Structure 1
Amino acid sequence: MRRALVTGINGQDGSYLAELLLERGYEVIGLVREDAGDRLGRIQHIRHRLEIVEGSLLDDALLRRVLAERRPNEIYNFAARASSRQLLTDPTLTAEYNGLAVVRLLEAIRAVDAGIRFCQASSSEMFGAATQSPQNELTPFRPRNPYGVAKLFAHGMVGTYRENFGVFGCAAILFNHESPRRGPEFVTRKITMGVARIRAGLTRSLPLGDLDVTRDWGFAGDYVRAMWQMLQAEVADDYVVATGVSHSVREFCDLAFGHVGLDYRAYVQADPGARRAAESVPFVGDAGKARRELGWQPSMSFERLVRTMVDADIVAQQVALAPDRNVQH
């Protein structure tokens, strides 16, 4: 039986990957921060099938001990400071978790078992002020915030360990990927949660920023499958994971509200002051290499993704509003 270590297993991506690995017969070990506490909701339904280890990616001794004791065949690193609110705040901590922590993991692999296969969740934020579109593995990186810079450092170190130390290290350059498990601070969930609240009569408006920003949005479950496929390949390499199609926040709103028979224009309040400077080129990924070499294909369309997220938030809103059946009257 193969064994995998998943850092950040309690996040959106980690939870989907844990499900995929369990379906394929893996033993799955999840590494979460000591203060994860009640933030394990995304994996609660499979918690009994996982081994959870608490610890920090900044603790070299812990990482080596976990690898030596559990002997994973594969490691997937999702642990990072990833919130949109953290893109510019606390650059030092961002550099530690998104950059140096990855080197610590790679060093632990090199010290304990260089045969462990490693996959890093890199980010399209590394492209930053891109000069060509679509962006692929050969597009120059031009990150514009501490998050992207730290991710680029980690991305480069994966290649360095692959070329200089023989580590089977891969990096998935992930474009935006969403799901009902996406954090509520991200614009996609703000929209779908807003739709659910408006439909339930709890509010009449949804304030948003620039509606004309475009992104290449895919389904998180598809993207972690690409990462698993990367570690099954004969040769380690880096791959862009994206749909190849971009959509605007306005399109997302139109689909989300339209799914429940509403016109977003009656509810969405765009902030003119939040309008961003136009990006030099469209921000969209070219996953041709992953399609050719890994046989990867996304399974969920943009339209189905939006509908799925809206439906999930409607159900969650109904559950939240339902009276507690255990309350004695």
Structure 2
Amino acid sequence: MADKKALITGITGQDGSYLADFLLDRGYEVHGIIRRSSSFNRQRLEHLYIDPRESGAKLFLHYGDLSDAEALSHIIYNIRPDEVYNLGAQSHVRVSFDMPEYTTNVTALGVTRLLEIVRRSNHNVRIYQASSSEMFGSATPPQGEETPFCPRSPYACSKLYAYWMVKNYREGYKLFASNGILFNHESPRRGETFVTRKITYSIARLLTKKDRHLYLGNLESKRDWGYAPEYVEAMWKMLQQESADDFVIGTGESHSVQEFLDQAFAYADLDVGEYVKIDPSYFRPTEVEVLIADTKKSEKKLGWKPKIKFNELVKIMIDADMRAAGLEPLGDGDEILQKKFPHRYWTSD
């Protein structure tokens, strides 16, 4: 039997790179869409990338963009994937206030382009759409599959549009299309502009005297934070079900930015008061105060539960950033990974 083919948009991002790891480990032929730029943006894939001209390559990268229907159509018609994971987006919530039109074009309309191409292809494709807990916005926690949405940013509005398009194409055209409503998930591969990685990356820079201060915005926001490599397994499980459905994925716990900050600095033996300053420019025009996942459905139907706890996530990320900065890791993070995921692909940074 031929290997299954998977197409990943956003493959160079945190989730895309971990998903590529996961699928290659299961024998998939993996294709990824990358945007053309004047510099390489494949750092998260360097441990995987094989030049497709080499015999037996299993990972192939293609130039394309969710704003370009022609390029998407060409890629899908030529690859004929069994599974499509749409992880591509303008995914930074704060930036979406500065770039609402671009965010909408890629994050919302990009999904419509993708769904329509798959519909017209008459090919039996299973689609995963990366939805977001930000769609819940100011909804009362905990938030589950039946919780009414109340988006509070252009990013969240764009994700909500995409969510409803997936449901409409599923019900109207019988596409196998599932929404994964993932709550915040972090890792050493998280971009440095996202608050958790900004904190752990800055700690390494403070320890090496490259920075004097860390500037942050709202410390009171509470989020349900998990470990990203675990979450890509939940994505895959959704596409292995008998029928398409929507699932909330999270830990069921909520912690503030202040808690993450305090735990991180305590682990590195640094004083928050000495190094951290508040910068009003990092505050959003409209804030989301509390997000907590109601995970009953995903636990029952997918059999998925996270293993990494909040305090363990903090240690894993700091150890990785210290190692990247040439420092000796404190060790707890590495020990946690070795204990909970022996011989698994995600034990590496």
TM-score, normalised to structure 1, is 0.91
Task: Please name the residue that 1:322 is paired with.
Answer: none
The alpha-carbon deviation at position 232 of structure 1 amounts to 0.5
SS, match of residue 296 in structure 1: coil
Task: Please name the residue that 1:75 is paired with.
Answer: 84
Unaligned runs of 5+ in 2: 51-57, 328-349
2:168 pairs with 1:160: yes
Tell me which of 55, 66, 69 is aligned to 2:75.
66
Q: Is the 8 A contact 2:138 2:290 kept in 1?
A: no
Task: Please name the residue that 2:188 is paired with.
Answer: 180
CA shift in 2, pair 1:159/1:54, >3 Å: same
1:141 aligned partner, one-letter code:
F
Q: Is the 8 A contact 2:7 2:83 kept in 1?
A: yes
Task: Please name the residue that 1:104 is paired with.
Answer: 113
CA shift in 2, pair 1:47/1:92, >3 Å: same
Task: Please name the residue that 1:11 is paired with.
Answer: 13
* Partner Cα separation in structure 1 for residue 96 and residue 286 of structure 2: 19
* Partner Cα separation in structure 2 for residue 318 and residue 193 of structure 1: 12
Task: Please name the residue that 2:321 is paired with.
Answer: 313
Q: How do 1:143-154 and structure 2 match up within 5 A?
A: 143-154=151-162
2:196 aligned partner, one-letter code:
T
SS, match of residue 199 in structure 2: helix
Task: Please name the residue that 2:138 is paired with.
Answer: 129
The alpha-carbon deviation at position 200 of structure 1 amounts to 1.8
Task: Please name the residue that 1:324 is paired with.
Answer: none
* Partner Cα separation in structure 2 for residue 281 and residue 217 of structure 1: 14
Q: Is the 8 A contact 2:182 2:249 kept in 1?
A: yes
Say which is worse superposed, 166-175 or 64-73, in terms of deviation: 64-73
* Partner Cα separation in structure 1 for residue 192 and residue 233 of structure 2: 23
CA shift in 2, pair 1:211/1:91, >3 Å: closer
SS, match of residue 201 in structure 2: helix
* Partner Cα separation in structure 2 for residue 84 and residue 247 of structure 1: 18
SS, match of residue 233 in structure 1: coil
* Partner Cα separation in structure 2 for residue 43 and residue 275 of structure 1: 32
Q: Is the 8 A contact 1:84 1:186 kept in 2?
A: no
User: 1:159-204: CA deviations, max 9, x gaps?
Assistant: 0011010100001111111111111111111110111112223334
Task: Please name the residue that 1:323 is paired with.
Answer: none
Unaligned runs of 5+ in 1: 320-329
Tell me which of 257, 263, 267 is aligned to 1:255.
263
Say which is worse superposed, 201-210 or 309-318, in terms of deviation: 201-210
Task: Please name the residue that 1:41 is paired with.
Answer: 43
Q: Is the 8 A contact 2:81 2:125 kept in 1?
A: yes
* Partner Cα separation in structure 2 for residue 36 and residue 302 of structure 1: 38
* Partner Cα separation in structure 1 for residue 92 and residue 317 of structure 2: 19
Measured on the aligned residues, the alpha-carbon RMSD in Å equals 2.0
Say which is worse superposed, 39-48 or 88-97, in terms of deviation: 88-97
CA shift in 2, pair 1:34/1:275, >3 Å: closer
Q: Percent identity?
A: 47
The alpha-carbon deviation at position 275 of structure 1 amounts to 7.0
User: 1:26-51: CA deviations, max 9, x gaps?
Assistant: 00000111227311101111011410
TM-score, normalised to structure 2, is 0.86
Tell me which of 132, 140, 149 is aligned to 1:141.
149
* Partner Cα separation in structure 2 for residue 233 and residue 158 of structure 1: 16
CA shift in 2, pair 1:303/1:280, >3 Å: closer
2:129 aligned partner, one-letter code:
Q
1:77 aligned partner, one-letter code:
N
Q: Is the 8 A contact 1:133 1:281 kept in 2?
A: no
Task: Please name the residue that 2:53 is paired with.
Answer: none
SS, match of residue 45 in structure 1: coil
* Partner Cα separation in structure 2 for residue 84 and residue 278 of structure 1: 11
Q: Is the 8 A contact 2:93 2:155 kept in 1?
A: no
Q: Is the 8 A contact 1:114 1:166 kept in 2?
A: no
CA shift in 2, pair 1:149/1:287, >3 Å: same
2:53 pairs with 1:51: no
1:188 aligned partner, one-letter code:
T
